[in-house]
């Protein structure tokens, strides 16, 4: 039996970091991607999200440079080379693996966020911000406290925002667009503040948590990092006994 189309879309989506910049992404496609994003679930259907569609090259450059700087810090300085070798061991060709490591430690791998045609950058950059004062109606009096009963509502906004992001990445894939979720430029508090200021996000009430680049893929990308199977990540009833999915 052939695989269901939705599951095929889910499994075939890849992070795309090289874009064909000769092809514009029409606004109506961007609209469809965001519309699909908005169909994600959210706690009490509060929809605690906003998207900023960034096409201005100077703004893309600013945000992309943050990603490059942090990548140099993270992969170039803080992560030992053996660890990068281990993570990328799924790339069989030694030369391609070395090339991938080189562009990681130099930050070049994240140049695509800047959207420059000469480096096959993404034509469109979406910035997703979530409402950090997002609370359910039942907790109206606990606004901003995190909840005296231990509820952590800002966390719900991040969870819902992440689900929205995944919807957008899948919708992009279904519409023939390449995309890549990225957060490295938003990992550091200073960057979150500076990026918010640059694009008028009312931070810290609203907080940018993730970006999504959009564009047409330069090359079809089928090989991705391997995934663990359900039997490796699932237990039955209690942590410990593996779930075999009827394969025992
Ligand atoms: C929360 C999150 C943060 C990520 N941050 C970055 C990032 O900063 N830069 C980037 O190029 N890719 C980023 N990615 C993409 C992952 O590297 C990619 O999805 C993962 O390696 C699996 O590859 P695949 O999407 O092709 O299957 C991020 C993905 C997620 C979900």
Cis omega (within 30 of 0) for bond into 204? yes
Q: What angle do CA 164, 40, 146 make, to 5 degrees?
A: 75
Residues whose CB falls within 8 Å of the CB of residue 66, separated by 6 or more in sequence, listed in order: 185, 191, 194, 195
Q: Which residues line ligand 1 (CB under 6 A)?
A: 14-15, 17, 110, 180-184, 224-225
Q: CA-to-CA distance for 110 and 114, rounded, in angstroms?
A: 8
Mean pLDDT of the chain: 90
Taking CA atoms only, the protein residue closest to ligand 1 atom 4 is: 182
CA of 164 to the centre of ligand 1 (A): 15
Residues whose CB falls within 8 Å of the CB of residue 49, separated by 6 or more in sequence, listed in order: 37, 38, 42, 128, 129, 130, 131, 157, 160, 161, 164
Q: In a 3-state reduction of DSSP, which class is residue 178? A: strand
Query: What is the number of structural domains in the chain?
Result: 1
Report if residue 244 sits inside a domain. no
Report if residue 109 sits inside a domain. no
Nearest ligand 1 atom to alpha carbon 166: 31
Report if residue 207 sits inside a domain. yes
Taking only the tens place, the pLDDT of each residue in 45-81 is 888 899 999 999 999 999 999 999 999 998 888 899 9
pLDDT of residue 153: 67
pLDDT of residue 228: 94
pLDDT of residue 220: 84
CA of 207 to the centre of ligand 1 (A): 19
- The pTM of this model reads 0.91
**Mean pLDDT value across residues 119-148:** 71
> Structural domain of residue 49, as residue ranges?
12-97+114-233
Report if residue 108 sits inside a domain. no
Nearest ligand 1 atom to alpha carbon 112: 11
**Mean pLDDT value across residues 3-13:** 94
pLDDT band at 154 (very low <50, low <70, confident <90, very high): confident
Q: What CATH number corresponds to the domain at position 31?
A: 3.40.109.10
Is 29's pLDDT higher than 70?
Answer: yes
Report if residue 104 sits inside a domain. no
Pick the closest to residue 209 from 177, 164, 151, 145 (CA basis).
164
Q: What angle do CA 71, 118, 178 make, to 5 degrees?
A: 70
CA of 30 to the centre of ligand 1 (A): 20
Report if residue 103 sits inside a domain. no
Report if residue 72 sits inside a domain. yes
52 against 225, higher pLDDT: 52
59 against 104, higher pLDDT: 59
Phi, psi of 217 (to 5 degrees): -65, 140
For residue 131, list its beta bridge partners: 206
Segment 221-224 long-range contacts (CB within 8 Å, at least 24 positions apart): 221/14, 221/15, 221/16, 221/178, 222/12, 222/14, 223/90, 223/91, 224/14, 224/15
pLDDT band at 222 (very low <50, low <70, confident <90, very high): confident
pLDDT of residue 141: 46
Report if residue 241 sits inside a domain. no
């Amino acid at each position: 039996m052939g695989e269901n189309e939705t599951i095929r879309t889910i499994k075939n989506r890849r992070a795309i970091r090289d874009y064909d910049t000769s092809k514009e992404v029409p606004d109506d496609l961007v609209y469809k991607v965001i519309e699909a994003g908005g169909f994600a679930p959210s706690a009490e259907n509060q929809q605690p999200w906003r998207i900023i569609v960034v096409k201005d090259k100077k703004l893309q450059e600013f945000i992309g440079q943050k990603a490059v700087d942090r990548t140099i810090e993270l992969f170039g300085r803080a992560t030992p080379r053996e660890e990068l070798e281990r993570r990328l061991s799924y790339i069989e060709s030694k030369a391609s693996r070395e090339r991938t490591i080189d562009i990681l430690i130099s930050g070049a791998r994240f140049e695509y966020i800047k959207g420059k045609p000469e480096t096959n950058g993404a034509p469109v950059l979406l910035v997703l911000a979530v409402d950090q004062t997002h609370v359910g109606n039942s907790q109206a009096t606990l606004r901003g406290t995190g909840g005296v009963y231990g509820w952590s509502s800002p966390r719900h906004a991040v969870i819902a925002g992440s689900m929205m992001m995944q919807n957008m990445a899948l919708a992009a894939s279904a519409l023939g667009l390449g995309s890549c979720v990225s957060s490295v430029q938003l990992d550091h508090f200073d960057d979150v503040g500076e990026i918010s200021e640059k694009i008028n996000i009312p931070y810290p009430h609203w907080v940018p948590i993730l970006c999504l680049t959009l564009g047409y893929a330069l090359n079809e990308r089928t090989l991705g990092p391997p995934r663990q199977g359900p039997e490796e990540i699932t237990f039955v009833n209690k942590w410990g006994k593996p779930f075999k999915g009827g394969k025992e």
